[in-house]
A and B are shown apart, each in its own frame.
Chain A
């Protein structure tokens, strides 16, 4: 498995080459280099997955955790050291496959989406950087390496969101993303340090002996703080504010980062620390679950009234990540047969969601490319003009709504089953949210492809189907979405590593499908026709709620208030005043003093010989007097 190091090195090389030498490349060549390196990475990832999952299982029936590379970078004590290396275990190999596949699709798609853009080479360089960082994150052997790549991912995200750096809104959005995630990473870092100190090691498997006294008590706090970091990256409430704004970046970037890969880093973190959570902090895990549930509900309600298609998809992402977090949060043990189902469900949903969400975003990109606008008002009736996009988008919507035989049904079903196992309330709450998901996704679908055509816009510029470079990824991802549901995921990934054969719980399955179909029908009834009297009536009746939801429940305003009125005015301004006037003033005073003194002394060198002689004589007389007095 030594070739796995190439999976990290290839994108790094392509980032360096394209980043430093980008201006000497023709744009097309830069794109080809990036895509080539990524295709190799994808191939290697598939190879790794093949070798890993076809290897014989160990005596306990689990897949062995392989560490082809692990070297100590910064040693503190024998047990406490920062390592860098590659760890292969079921979830990291699965993530390798997901990341490289989606990244490859995005690379191909960007060939024609970003054609003619200034900074094409820079774009591909950043994509390679991001891919490398994300791959490094998932194969991390210890928490500190994960943190390192976590930060790299944040930087790449910042660079990519702010790609159109001349647009003020893009710059603001990238800053917001970076600052919010960085702020969350403060909690992450504190959590890491607590974990390292009380757990005695930075690796993911502290043995009980190395727990320092009080470790068992402090570990929940440490793990909770680490989750705060994950919450920032995965856009959990209230740290979700950056994700909708991050849609300012190019759409393929949104597909890669904000749908499939970076935002699931938080989920991956919890999954990685899952054994520790179960062993030492099960209550924290359940709290995490409720946070995820609330986030899912919150985001779904906002998504119902958004008019910008990328915003709808962004909130949908937040909601689906909420699902994944909930699935992890409802676990009560490591045994998938009793209480540990959520782990597998979450990972399965991560896999399928990455595929169909990337598909949705790339499809949205195709639509935006056709009508040159993000707003739903510019769309409508596009099914006549863009058949491939239409079909693939429909497949993805059905998947996310949870309709069999698409992949979303299987993964969502497992999550609902786990939730019902934990508590009926949780189960019903998540089912309702699933219904809302179906509802707003189909509202989006009808709004784009059915409904009233925007005749003026279409006369000016007839929308057309996108070129092959854009439709091929759509078709590929749609194909995966169709078949992924039938992968025996539980045999590969499960909470205790043993093979778990997924069986559909009939009650849960039928309930969810029925509810999904009801939501879809509701959406169809309301939104399919050119005029939407029911929607307008509902909007007028619940005008205040509608308003609040379209302003995202004013959470951004709350943040603005807290930061500007409270933090800036009461804390930052006095400190800034102090810094400018006292600290700088002191140094300015020193400089002024030096200046004034030197001004005075300068006159001593007047060029007048007689003055020089005078001073000379005075000095000599002073010396003589001194000598006289001392002898």
Chain B
């Protein structure tokens, strides 16, 4: 079972690296998708190997997929709006909420 977890860990930290490093906001959102998927794999794996008589992890992963889909949709809508306003979606331009 641990090997599945290693895979998901690699995917998770790849997503984190991408979150820190990418300049394009959409690339950051892609990295977030990676992170979410990694956690879904984790839930499925725990369900299969530690609690095979129940389906909790399965449903949790299901709902997680649904929710991340919704969240992605809204995030992309926001990005589109930002693009309309500043013609640019580099994350370094989005720093108004500071001191």
Interface on A for B, CB 8 Å cutoff? 602, 605-610, 613-614, 617
**Binary CB contact string for chain B from 83 to 99 against chain A (1 if under 8 A, 0 otherwise):** 00000000110111111
Bitwise interface map of B from 57 to 99 toward A, beta carbon under 8 Å scored 1, else 0:
0000000000000000000000000000000000110111111
> Cβ of A605: which chain B residues have Cβ within 8 Å of it?
98-99
Q: With A and B bound together, what is the CA distance between A47 and B80 in angstroms?
A: 98
Residues on the B chain within 8 Å of A613, using CB? 19-20
Chain B residues contacting A609 (CB-CB under 8 Å) are: 28, 91, 94
The smallest beta-carbon distance between A600 and chain B, in angstroms, is 12
- CA A56 to CA B36, docked complex, whole Å: 111
Chain A residue, CB-CB nearest to B16: A617
Flag if B20 contacts A614 (CB, 8 Å).
Answer: yes
Some 7 contacts from A to B, beta carbons below 8 A apart, are A605-B98, A607-B94, A607-B97, A609-B28, A610-B19, A610-B20, A610-B21
Q: Give the dominant DSSP class at A's interface.
A: helix
Which residues from B are CB-within-8-Å of A617?
16
Q: Could you tell me the distance in whole angstroms from the C-beta of B94 to the nearest C-beta in chain A?
A: 7
Tell me if A606 and B20 are in contact (CB < 8 A).
no
Q: A607-B94, A607-B96, A610-B21 are in contact. List 18 more A-B contacts (CB 8 A).
A: A602-B99, A605-B99, A606-B98, A607-B97, A607-B98, A608-B91, A608-B92, A608-B95, A609-B28, A609-B91, A609-B94, A610-B19, A610-B20, A610-B28, A610-B91, A613-B19, A614-B20, A617-B16
Docked pose: A606 CA to B98 CA in angstroms: 5
Instruction: Give Cα distance in the complex from A109 to B97, angstroms.
Output: 74
**Bound complex: CA A513 to CA B99 (Å):** 92
| Residues of chain A within 8 A of B98, CB atoms compared | 605-607
Find the A residue at minimum CB distance from B92: A608
CB-defined contacts of B97 to chain A, threshold 8 Å = 607
Give Cα A609 to B92, complex, Å: 9
Q: How far is the CA of A617 from the CA of B96 in the complex (A)?
A: 22
Query: With the chains together, A605 CA to B98 CA distance in Å?
Result: 5
B90 vs chain A, min Cβ distance (A): 11
**B residues less than 8 Å from A602 (CB atoms):** 99
Closest Cβ of chain A to B20, distance in Å, is: 5
Instruction: Tell me how far the C-beta of A623 lies from the nearest C-beta in chain B, rounded to whole angstroms.
Output: 16
Check A607 against B95 for contact (C-beta < 8 Å). yes
| Whole-angstrom distance between the Cβ of B47 and the nearest chain A Cβ | 24
A605–B20 Cα distance when bound, in Å, is: 16
Find chain B residues with CB under 8 A from A606 CB: 95, 98
The contact string, 1 if C-beta is below 8 Å from chain A, for chain B 18-51, is 0111000000100000000000000000000000
Cα-based distance from A609 to B96 in the complex (angstroms):
11
Hey, which chain A residues are within 8 Å of B20, CB to CB? 610, 613-614
In whole angstroms, what is the CA distance A605 to B21 when docked?
A: 18
User: Which chain B residues lie closer than 8 Å to A607 at the CB level?
Assistant: 94-98
Q: Which 6 A-B pairs have the closest CB atoms?
A: A607-B95, A607-B98, A602-B99, A607-B97, A605-B98, A605-B99
**A607 to B92 CA separation, bound complex (whole angstroms):** 9
Closest to A602 in B: B99
CB-based nearest B residue for A609: B91
Q: Least Cβ distance of B19 to chain A in Å?
A: 6
Measured in the bound complex, the distance between the Cα atoms of B19 and A605 in whole Å is: 18
Residue of B nearest to A613 (CB): B19
- Inside 8 A of B95's CB, which chain A residues have their CB? 606-608
Q: CA A608 – CA B96 in complex, angstroms? A: 9
The residues of A that contact B94 with a CB separation of less than 8 Å are 607, 609
- Which B residues are CB-close (under 8 A) to A614? 20
Using CB atoms, name the residue of chain A closest to B97: A607
Expressed in whole angstroms, the Cα–Cα distance for A610 and B16 within the complex equals 10
Give complex CA distance A257, B12 in Å: 93
Q: Smallest CB–CB gap between A622 and chain B, Å?
A: 15
- Report the Cα distance A311→B85, complex, angstroms: 84
Q: What's the minimum C-beta distance from B41 to chain A, rounded to whole angstroms?
A: 20
Report A-chain residues with C-beta under 8 Å of the C-beta of B92.
Answer: 608
B16 CB contacts on chain A under 8 angstroms:
617
Q: In the bound complex, what is the Cα–Cα distance between A608 and B21 (angstroms)?
A: 12
Distance A602 CA – B19 CA, assembled complex (angstroms): 23
Considering only CB atoms, which chain A residue lies closest to B23 in the complex?
Answer: A610
The docked-state distance in angstroms from the alpha carbon of A608 to that of B94 is 7
Whole-angstrom distance between the Cβ of A298 and the nearest chain B Cβ: 72
Q: Chain B residue with minimal CB distance to A614?
A: B20
- Please measure, in the bound complex, the distance between the C-alpha atom of A602 and the C-alpha atom of B99, giving whole angstroms: 7
In the complex, which of the residues A606, A607, A614 has the most CB atoms of chain B within 10 Å of its own CB atom? A607
Q: How far is the CB of B76 from chain A (nearest CB, A)?
A: 16
C-alpha spacing A535/B91, complex, angstroms: 100
Give B4 Cβ to nearest chain A Cβ, in Å: 21
User: In the assembled complex, how far is the CB of residue B43 from the closest CB belonging to chain A, in whole angstroms?
Assistant: 19
A360 to B9, CA, bound (A): 108
CB proximity of A598 to chain B, nearest CB, Å = 10
